[in-house]
Structure 1
Amino acid sequence: MKLLLLLVVLTSYTAIPQNLVNRMFTFPQQTNTAHVRLTTSKQDLRAVTVCLRTFTDIKREQAFFSLATPSIFNDFLIFKKGGGDGFDLYQGQICFEGHEWKLNTWHSVCVTWDAASGLIQLWLDGKPSSRLFITSGSHIHGPIIIVLGQDQDSYGGGFDIKQSFVGMMTDVHMWDHTLSPCEIQRYMDDINFNFGNVLNWESLEFQINGKVLIEEKQSLCY
């Protein structure tokens, strides 16, 4: 427990690359301040895949992953809509409906986007959405701020308590290309997948702000 508290204190002030395999972030309460800020050296992205695993009992809308640039606050956002099974994904605003979402259940979420084709796609627990067109030719250009657990309505801030994430999150990875369906399936199954080259859960550089804990990843015992 003392080691855990020390880790939380240290990461509140400085970004230190850490191996979080078999660990998770716990966001234990609604707040407009608590979040995890991630750091990457890659500042020009023409394609993106983001994958994460999440667990929550909150029905209302909430933000999982928010990437902002000075000109576009929702440059890449994974946002769970309230009261149903819908997701809002931003590179332009687009909504995906019809995915089976259950409370108090671990879910694996992946989103792919490619600037050349302009297509974006959601994968939830191994099941793909339709591939939808947003716009082609655009790209994400830094300086980039990435936040877990809050929606940036301004560059690095503007958090809304009614959109804050409450629950557990783990295995956050980000790539500068779109993963193939087979690669996404390997991530979903947690079997021999290549870790992210933009964000890597095995060597994650981050800062914790507010009440966010690092705990052992919960799994079933057999």
Structure 2
Amino acid sequence: MIALFVALLLVLAPGSGKVARASGAKGNRFLCTAVPTGTDFNCPVDTNSRVQNTSPQEEELRNTIIQLREIILQQKETIVSQQGTIKELNSKLVRCEADAKSRGNARRKDYSKNTMGDLPRDPAETVQQLGKTMQSLKDRLENLEQLHANTSSGPFPNELKDLLKHRLSDLEGQLLTRVAELEEEKSQLYNETAAHRQRTENTLKTLLDRITELEKSNSAFKSPEDFKVSLPLRTNYLYGRIKKSLPEMYAFTVCMWLKSSASPGIGTPFSYGVPGQANEIVLIEWGNNPIELLVNDKVAQLPLSVSDGRWHHICITWTTRDGFWEAYQDGERLGTGENLAPWHPIKPGGVIILGQEQDIVGGRFDATQAFVGELSHFNMWDRVLRPIDISAMANCSAYMPGNVVPWVDANVEVFGSATKAALEICEDRLFDS
């Protein structure tokens, strides 16, 4: 590189950068002179005095100079680039030395640390620290043993025992108190049971006495039909029962004397139920409804009113032909109708109940449908009576017992608090009026 630079200085002409050929010596001689940077080395060509013939050596030399110039420029750029790289490397080296120094200090600081805890890395310090730890653990163990000894021999167990005894004593007292209460309740229950049994026995004795009295009073009736059945309460256990049943019938007449002031509705004076049809024949006034006659559970409303607390004579007639019916009150026919269970024969073998409506044959009574009042002279016929006969019975000018159910004392039994008592209906009716 240096040899090429010297050769370049030798071949360059001074000043203008032109190549001058010296004269006055043997052969040719070249002179070099400095030229400014960026000078164009192409020789101007004078069109008027252009050298027509250029030697090959001059052309080659000129190309060599151009190549050398380009090489120098490239080397200059390379040197500048290398200087920058050197500066960058120097700065990195400085930083590396600073980092190495700081890490050295850090290592010296960490020398007294142990990744396992606060123990130093120095063996002597580690042994000393372990000794202190062991002594601390030993002291804590001795303190625990001393506390256990004090607890076992001190007053605490005795206090605990006293507390437990006191608590057990309280529980025992509570248990004894509860047992005493249960014994007292048992005694009271026994006394109540005994009193209830005594009351039941007294009630039964009263009923037996009443039955005996009634049986004795039967002989006092002037005639077997001069009595009445009293049903004073609206319950489901007061009622009378006719011992006789009905045959199969295609017509009937039922008559009775009633006295009631119950409201609303007098209830059910009588009902006749058969297997499969509890409402075969029913006479009922329930709630605010008018008095109704049911035949085979079919209903007809009757224009009757008997809830004034006076005796009234009631007669109902019915025939299966067209289901025709008639309603009489105090001997007067107040209403008629038809199509009440037409062509349905009254079934035999049922039960006649006085004062209750049957939901099953002979039972399951409803207190809201019970009759409240007095009833007498309940008679049934298997035919339709003439109006003159009905009027005669209502006027007490004649008495006709029913041919299928007559009103006689031996044919009527009462239950619950229902009673039978002597009654001369015509005299009592005249007294009411």
SS at match of 1:6: helix
In 2, Cα distance between the equivalents of 1:8 and 1:44? 34
Q: 1:136 to 1:204 in 2, by over 3 A?
A: farther
Structure 1 residue 121 and structure 2 residue 326: aligned? yes
TM, length-normalised to structure 2: 0.45
Cα distance change, pair 45–83 in 1 and its aligned pair in 2 (3 A): same
Residue 200 in structure 1 maps to residue 200 in structure 2? no
CA shift in 2, pair 1:3/1:125, >3 Å: farther
Q: Which residue is 1:60 aligned to?
A: 264
Conservation of the 8 A alpha-carbon contact between 1:65 and 1:77: yes
Matched residues in 1 for 2:385 and 2:313: separation?
15
The AA in structure 1 aligned to 2:412 is: F
| Structure 2 counterparts to residues 38-187 of structure 1, below 5 A | 38-40=242-244, 42-61=246-265, 62-83=267-288, 86-91=290-295, 92-128=297-333, 129-187=335-393
More RCO (CA 8 Å, sep 6+): 1
Per the normalisation by structure 1, the TM-score is 0.85
Q: CA deviation at 1:115?
A: 1.3
Q: Which residue of 2 aligns with 1:14?
A: none
2: CA distance, partners of 1:75 / 1:5: 32
Contact 2:245 2:351 in 1 (8 A): no
CA deviation profile, 1:97-134 (whole Å, cap 9, x unmatched):
54344421111111111113321221122222123221
1:27 equivalenced with 2:27 (yes/no) = no
The one-letter amino acid paired with 2:300 is C
8 Å contact 1:4–1:214 — kept in the other structure? no
SS at match of 2:398: coil
SS of structure 2 residue aligned to 1:130:
strand
Q: Are residues 147 and 7 of structure 1, via their aligned partners in 2, closer, same or farther at CA, if it must alter by over 3 Å?
A: farther
1:66-100: per-residue Cα shift (whole Å, max 9, x none)? Answer: 0011121111111124346x211011432325434
Cα pair 2:324 2:336 within 8 Å, conserved: no
Partners of 2:350 and 2:314 in 1: how far apart? Answer: 21
Count of equivalent residues: 212
The separation in 2 between residues aligned to 1:7 and 1:112, in whole angstroms, is: 37
1:52 positional shift:
0.6
Describe the SS at the equivalent of 1:168: strand
Q: 1:146 to 1:7 in 2, by over 3 A?
A: farther
Q: Out of 181-190 and 196-205, give the one that drifted further.
A: 196-205
| Aligned-pair CA distance for 1:137 | 1.9
Instruction: Say which is worse superposed, 47-56 or 72-81, in terms of deviation.
Output: 72-81
Q: What is the one-letter code of the residue matched to 2:321?
A: A
How far the C-alpha of 1:43 sits from its partner, in A, is 2.2
Question: Residues 4 and 215 of structure 1 are in contact (CA less than 8 Å); yes or no, is this contact kept in structure 2?
Answer: no
| Stretches (4+) displaced over 6 A | none
Equivalent-residue separation in structure 1 for 2:292 and 2:252 (angstroms): 16
Which piece of structure 1 moves more, 139-148 or 93-102?
93-102
| Contact kept? 1:38, 1:204, Cα under 8 Å | no
The 8 Å contact of residues 298 and 341 in structure 2, kept in 1 or not, is answered as no
Residue 61 of structure 2 is matched in structure 1 by none
The structure with the larger Rg is: 2
**Cα distance, 1:4 vs structure 2:** 6.1
Taking a change above 3 Å as real, the CA distance of residues 41 and 104 of structure 1, as seen in their structure-2 partners, is closer
Using the TM superposition, name which of 134-143 and 179-188 deviates more.
134-143
Aligned counterparts of 2:321 and 2:391: Cα–Cα separation in 1: 23
SS at 1:30 equivalent:
coil
Deviates more, 1:46-55 or 1:121-130: 121-130
Q: In proportion to residue count, which structure has more strand?
A: 1
Consecutive unaligned residues in structure 1, runs of 5 or more: 11-18
Distance in 2 separating the partners of 1:182 and 1:4: 40
CA RMSD of the aligned region, Å? Answer: 2.5
Provide the residue aligned with 1:16 in structure 2: none
User: Mind listing any 5+ residue stretches in structure 2 that lack a counterpart?
Assistant: 1-207, 217-222
Relative to structure 1, the CA distance from residue 99 to residue 6 in structure 2 (aligned partners, 3 Å threshold; closer, same or farther) is same
Q: More deviation in 152-161 or 32-41?
A: 32-41
Q: What percent identity do the matched residue pairs reach?
A: 24
Tell me which protein shows more helix as a share of its residues: 2
**Deviations for 1:142-200, whole angstroms, at most 9, x for unmatched residues?**
22100000011211112111111111111111001111111111121122232101111
- Name the stretch that deviates more: 200-209 or 165-174: 200-209
